[in-house]
Amino acid sequence: MLRIASSLVLAPVAIAVAYVGGYIFIAFWAIAAILVLWEWDTLVCAHDRNAVLGTGAVTLAGAGLALAFDGVGIAIAFICLGVLGFAALTSRVRRLWCSAGFGYAAALLFAPVLLRGDASFGFAAILFLFVIVWLTDITAYFVGRAVGGPKLMPRVSPNKTWSGAIGGTIAGVVGGVIVARQAGVAGLAAAAVVAFVLSVVSQAGDLAESAIKRQFSAKDASQLIPGHGGLMDRLDGFVAAAAAGALIGLCHGGFDAPARGLMVW
Q: Can you tell me whether residue 160 is helix, strand or coil?
A: strand
- Within 10 angstroms of residue 142's Cβ, the number of other Cβ atoms is 13
Tell me what the mean pLDDT of segment 123-142 comes to: 95
The band of 1, judged by pLDDT with boundaries at 50, 70 and 90, is low
Q: Please tell me the distance from the alpha carbon of residue 106 to that of residue 76, in angstroms, as a whole number.
A: 9
What tens digit of pLDDT does each residue of 177-220 get?
Answer: 999 999 999 889 999 999 999 999 999 999 999 899 888 888 87
Tell me what the mean pLDDT of segment 222-232 comes to: 76
pLDDT at 2 over 70: no
Domain that holds residue 16: 2-263
Angle at 74 between CA 62 and CA 249, to 5 degrees: 105
- Do 14 and 93 contact (CB within 8 A), yes or no? no
157-161 and 151-153 beta bridge pairing: antiparallel
Q: Please tell me the distance from the alpha carbon of residue 173 to that of residue 191, in angstroms, as a whole number.
A: 8
Q: Please tell me the distance from the alpha carbon of residue 234 to that of residue 180, in angstroms, as a whole number.
A: 24
0.85 exceeded by pTM? yes
Number of domains comprising the chain: 1
Q: Please tell me the distance from the alpha carbon of residue 218 to that of residue 24, in angstroms, as a whole number.
A: 33
